[in-house]
Amino acid sequence: MIFVDPLRHPLFIKFIAYFNENQDYFECHEVLEDYWNLVAPRDRAHPLVGYIQSAVALYHWRRGNFRGAAKLFPKAERLLRLTFEDGSPFSDGVDLPAFLRNIRKAADAVEDGLPFVAFPIRVTDSAIRDAVSELVQNGAIPDLTGARLIHKHMLRDRGHILSGNEKRRSSRH
């Protein structure tokens, strides 16, 4: 299936739903990384990387990793600013200027050591809004809270990662 508007892709829709509905920034990263690997693998200057970096920065900030957040917010801001200035289709359907302002405010708050504050991505495309609402109504976006949301990367099954690490270590010997 070909999507004319890249922000109407099901994986971007999921990203918006996770970002706005339950602030599951870890899952935002996961779904957008899948999308990025489909459309522009290894292109570190692709607009999707900016969205991914913004979600990861928020994940770090909420967990109190100010250093990680401070490193990623400017990178996300730079990529997404270029996306907007270049008129990329990856800026259509969302209020990217407002998102950029929120990223800047968040970066400033991180620099000042202030506590985490979530902010949404304002969606300007009704088809994207409707698709996000449908995901939420169908229960596709879990209602996570507390440690299950904040420390998600530590609570997931890492068996496949550990197995791959062990294989790489044994192949070196």
Find the Cα–Cα–Cα–Cα dihedral 11, 50, 55, 39, rounded to 10°: 20
Residues sharing a CB contact under 8 Å with residue 118, sequence separation 6 or more, in sequence order: 23, 58, 62
Per-residue pLDDT of the chain (173 residues; tens, 9 = 90+): 445 578 889 999 999 999 999 999 999 999 999 999 999 998 999 999 999 999 999 999 999 999 999 999 999 999 999 999 988 888 889 999 999 999 999 999 999 999 999 999 999 999 999 999 999 889 877 676 554 555 455 555 445 445 555 666 666 65
In a domain, 122, yes or no: yes
Residue ranges making up the domain that contains 158: 6-172
Predicted structure pTM score: 0.82
Distance of CA 32 to CAs 67, 135, 141, Å?
23, 16, 15
pLDDT value at residue 139: 80
In a domain, 1, yes or no: no
Q: What angle do CA 135, 103, 149 make, to 5 degrees?
A: 45
In a domain, 89, yes or no: yes
Task: Characterise 125 by phi-psi region: left (phi > 0), alpha (psi -120 to 50), beta (else).
Answer: beta
What CA–CA distance (Å, rounded) separates 46 from 114?
30
Beta bridge partners of 123: 94
Count of structural domains, the chain: 1
